[in-house]
Structure 1
Amino acid sequence: MTILELFTPLFLLLPLIGFRNVTTTIQDNALRSPPTAPHLVYTPNTELTSRLIEKVSDTLYIPPYEPIPDKMEHSYMRSHEIKSEEELNLLQSVDGLVVFENLDGEYLPDYLNYTIHLRNPHHLTVMTRRRDYEHLDELSESFLRVQWAIDSSFIKIKANTDEDLQNITMKELRSNVHQLALDRTLSDILFFSLIAVTFIAPIFSFTQIMLRMNEDKTTGIQEISEMAGASSLMICLSQLVNSFPPSLMMGVGSSIVCQLLDIEANPFITFTGWFLHYMTVIAFAFVLSYITKTIWYTVSISMLAYLATWFPAIIIEVGSFTIIGLILKGLLPHAPFIWFIHQIFVASELGVGIDFSTWSGEFHRFDDGSRSGSIRLSFIMQFLQIIMCFLLTFYLELVRPRKFGIQRPWHFLCQKGYWEKPQMTECDNLMKINQDPAYEKFFQQPPEPAIQAVDIVNLQKMYRTNTGATIYAVDNISARFYEGEITVIIGHNGAGKSTLISIIAGMLRQTSGNVYINGLDTLTRQVDLRRKVAICPQSNTLYPDLTVREHLMFFCMMRGDSMEKAQDYAEEVMKQLDLYSKETWTPEKMSHGMLRRLQFGCTLCGEANLLLLDEPTSGLDVEARREIWDILLTLRGHRTVIMSTHYMDEADILADRILGLHSGIIRCYATPEYLKKAIGAGFRVSITTRQLPDLHKICSVMREMSPDAELSDKILRTLVYEISPATDMECLLNKLEACRSKLDIESIGIGTVTMEEVFMK
Structure 2
Amino acid sequence: MGFGPQLSLLLWKNLIVLWRSKCMFLLELAFLFILLPVVLVVVRYAPKPNIEEQYSFEPFQITGDSLDINRSISHIRSIDNYYNCGRDVDIHLGFSYEPGMDKLAFEIMEALSERYSDNETMRIFIHNFTRLETMMEVLKEDLNDTREYMCSEYIGGVHFQSIRIQKGKSQPQLVYRILMPQKTNIRTQSHDFDLSLFWLDNSPGSVQADHNQIPGSPPYWQRGFLSIQFAIESTFIEMNKGPDFMKDKDFYLLRVPIDKSSTGGIDLFLKAVLVLWLLSISGIMLHTSKEIVIDKEAGIKTYMSVMGLHPLAFYLSHIIFGIIKSTAVMVICTALLSIRVQYSSSLLFIILTVLFAVSMVFMAALFSAIFKTTQLAQLFCMVIPILLLILNHQLAPAITNVWLCFLFSLNPITAFSYGLAHIINAEKNMIYLGWFSIFDNGTTQFTIAYSLFMLVVDSAILCFLIFYIDSVFPTDGSAKKHPLFLFENFWKRHSHQRLNKMPPVDQTDSKILIENMEPENASIDEADIIIQNLSKRFGFWGNLAVDNLNFRAYRGQVTVLLGHNGAGKTTTFSMITGSITSSGGYVIICGRNLEDNLDDCRKVIGYCPQHNPLFEKVTVREHLQLYAGLKTSTLNGPHGRNILNEEIADILDSINLRASIDIQSQNLSGGQKRKLCVAISLVAGSQVVLLDEPTAGMDPIARKEISTLLTKIKKDRTILLTTHYMDEADKLGDRVGIMVNGRLMCNGSPDFLKKKFGTGFILTILCNSEPQFFFENIEEILTTIQKHSPDAYVYRSNRFPQFSIILPISDKRHFADLFDELQFEKERLCIDSFGLSLNTLEQVFLR
Normalising to structure 1: TM-score of the pair?
0.73
Give CA deviations for 1:34-73 in whole Å, capped at 9, x if unaligned.
xxxxxxxxxxxxxxxxxxxxxxxxxxxxxxxxxxxxxxxx
* Residues 4, 373 of structure 1: alpha-carbon distance in 2 compared, 3 angstrom cutoff: farther
Give 1:706 deviation, angstroms.
4.0
- Structure 1 window deviating more from structure 2 (706-715 vs 448-457): it is 706-715
Q: Which amino acid aligns with 1:512?
A: G
Q: Which amino acid aligns with 2:506?
A: K
> Contact between 1:473 and 1:495, CA under 8 Å: does it hold in 2?
yes
RMSD of the alignment, in Å? 3.2
> Contact between 2:578 and 2:594, CA under 8 Å: does it hold in 1?
yes
Q: Aligned residue for 1:290?
A: 369
SS in 1 for 2:618: coil
Give 1:389 deviation, angstroms.
1.5
Give 1:707 deviation, angstroms.
5.6
> Contact between 1:557 and 1:566, CA under 8 Å: does it hold in 2?
no
> Contact between 1:559 and 1:605, CA under 8 Å: does it hold in 2?
no
Looking at structure 1, the residues matched to 677 and 706 of structure 2 have their Cα atoms a distance apart, in angstroms, of 12
Equivalent residue runs for 1:334-733 within 5 Å? 334-361=413-440, 373-416=446-489, 421-426=494-499, 429-435=503-509, 441-449=515-523, 451-464=526-539, 470-560=542-632, 561=637, 562-687=640-765, 688=767, 690=769, 693=776, 698=781, 701-706=784-789, 709-712=792-795, 720-725=804-809, 727=812, 729-733=815-819
Give 1:335 deviation, angstroms.
1.5
Give CA deviations for 1:104-158 in whole Å, capped at 9, x if unaligned.
xxxxxxxxxxxxxxxxxxxxxxxxxxxxxxxxxxxxxxxxxxxxxxxxxxxxxxx
Equivalent residue runs for 1:179-194 within 5 Å? 184=263, 186-194=265-273
1:260 equivalent to 2:339? Answer yes
Give CA deviations for 1:315-352 in whole Å, capped at 9, x if unaligned.
31243534322322222232110011111111012111
* Residues 252, 525 of structure 1: alpha-carbon distance in 2 compared, 3 angstrom cutoff: same
> Contact between 1:339 and 1:372, CA under 8 Å: does it hold in 2?
no
Give 1:640 deviation, angstroms.
0.4
* Residues 627, 697 of structure 1: alpha-carbon distance in 2 compared, 3 angstrom cutoff: closer
Structure with the larger RCO, 1 or 2 (CA within 8 Å, 6+ apart) = 2
* Residues 198, 713 of structure 1: alpha-carbon distance in 2 compared, 3 angstrom cutoff: closer
* Residues 351, 695 of structure 1: alpha-carbon distance in 2 compared, 3 angstrom cutoff: closer
Give 1:420 deviation, angstroms.
5.9
> Contact between 1:206 and 1:285, CA under 8 Å: does it hold in 2?
yes
* Residues 280, 419 of structure 1: alpha-carbon distance in 2 compared, 3 angstrom cutoff: farther
Give CA deviations for 1:244-294 in whole Å, capped at 9, x if unaligned.
322321332233223222342212111110110001111222322232134
Looking at structure 1, the residues matched to 597 and 583 of structure 2 have their Cα atoms a distance apart, in angstroms, of 17
Looking at structure 2, the residues matched to 580 and 717 of structure 1 have their Cα atoms a distance apart, in angstroms, of 40
Looking at structure 1, the residues matched to 819 and 470 of structure 2 have their Cα atoms a distance apart, in angstroms, of 67
Give 1:634 deviation, angstroms.
0.7
* Residues 437, 336 of structure 1: alpha-carbon distance in 2 compared, 3 angstrom cutoff: closer
* Residues 403, 478 of structure 1: alpha-carbon distance in 2 compared, 3 angstrom cutoff: farther
Question: 2:841 is matched with which residue: 742, 755, 760?
Answer: 755
Q: Which amino acid aligns with 1:227?
A: V
Looking at structure 2, the residues matched to 350 and 717 of structure 1 have their Cα atoms a distance apart, in angstroms, of 100
Q: Which runs of 5 or more residues in structure 1 are unaligned? A: 29-179, 364-369
SS in 1 for 2:498: coil
Looking at structure 2, the residues matched to 572 and 239 of structure 1 have their Cα atoms a distance apart, in angstroms, of 33
Equivalent residue runs for 1:16-415 within 5 Å? 16-24=39-47, 184=263, 186-361=265-440, 373-415=446-488
Give 1:650 deviation, angstroms.
0.9
SS in 1 for 2:553: strand
Give 1:462 deviation, angstroms.
1.7
Looking at structure 2, the residues matched to 362 and 746 of structure 1 have their Cα atoms a distance apart, in angstroms, of 105
SS in 1 for 2:721: strand
Q: Aligned residue for 1:134?
A: none
Paired-residue identity, %:
23
- Structure 1 window deviating more from structure 2 (738-747 vs 505-514): it is 738-747
> Contact between 2:323 and 2:361, CA under 8 Å: does it hold in 1?
no
Q: Which amino acid aligns with 1:588?
A: Q
Give CA deviations for 1:403-444 in whole Å, capped at 9, x if unaligned.
332211212334455666544533762533443767654321
Looking at structure 2, the residues matched to 697 and 11 of structure 1 have their Cα atoms a distance apart, in angstroms, of 85
* Residues 273, 663 of structure 1: alpha-carbon distance in 2 compared, 3 angstrom cutoff: same
Looking at structure 2, the residues matched to 492 and 224 of structure 1 have their Cα atoms a distance apart, in angstroms, of 24
* Residues 233, 282 of structure 1: alpha-carbon distance in 2 compared, 3 angstrom cutoff: same
Q: Which amino acid aligns with 2:533?
A: N
SS in 2 for 1:357: helix
Q: Which amino acid aligns with 1:740?
A: K
Q: How many residues align?
A: 602
SS in 2 for 1:539: coil
Q: Which amino acid aligns with 2:738?
A: G
* Residues 494, 314 of structure 1: alpha-carbon distance in 2 compared, 3 angstrom cutoff: farther
Give CA deviations for 1:499-545 in whole Å, capped at 9, x if unaligned.
11111011111222221112322122101112111111111111233
Looking at structure 1, the residues matched to 643 and 491 of structure 2 have their Cα atoms a distance apart, in angstroms, of 36
Q: Which amino acid aligns with 2:610?
A: Q
Q: Which amino acid aligns with 2:331?
A: V
> Contact between 1:703 and 1:709, CA under 8 Å: does it hold in 2?
yes
Q: Which amino acid aligns with 2:706?
A: I
Give 1:699 deviation, angstroms.
5.1
SS in 2 for 1:637: helix
Normalising to structure 2: TM-score of the pair?
0.66
* Residues 252, 447 of structure 1: alpha-carbon distance in 2 compared, 3 angstrom cutoff: same
> Contact between 1:660 and 1:669, CA under 8 Å: does it hold in 2?
yes
Looking at structure 1, the residues matched to 347 and 651 of structure 2 have their Cα atoms a distance apart, in angstroms, of 50
Looking at structure 1, the residues matched to 622 and 834 of structure 2 have their Cα atoms a distance apart, in angstroms, of 54
> Contact between 2:545 and 2:741, CA under 8 Å: does it hold in 1?
yes
> Contact between 2:263 and 2:428, CA under 8 Å: does it hold in 1?
no
Q: Which runs of 5 or more residues in structure 2 are unaligned? A: 1-17, 19-24, 52-260
> Contact between 1:430 and 1:457, CA under 8 Å: does it hold in 2?
no
SS in 2 for 1:339: helix
* Residues 376, 680 of structure 1: alpha-carbon distance in 2 compared, 3 angstrom cutoff: closer
Looking at structure 2, the residues matched to 352 and 573 of structure 1 have their Cα atoms a distance apart, in angstroms, of 69
Question: 1:738 is matched with which residue: 824, 831, 847?
Answer: 824
SS in 1 for 2:745: strand
Q: Aligned residue for 1:13?
A: 36
* Residues 680, 589 of structure 1: alpha-carbon distance in 2 compared, 3 angstrom cutoff: closer
Looking at structure 1, the residues matched to 677 and 491 of structure 2 have their Cα atoms a distance apart, in angstroms, of 33
> Contact between 2:289 and 2:374, CA under 8 Å: does it hold in 1?
no
SS in 1 for 2:272: helix
- Structure 1 window deviating more from structure 2 (591-600 vs 437-446): it is 437-446
* Residues 379, 694 of structure 1: alpha-carbon distance in 2 compared, 3 angstrom cutoff: closer
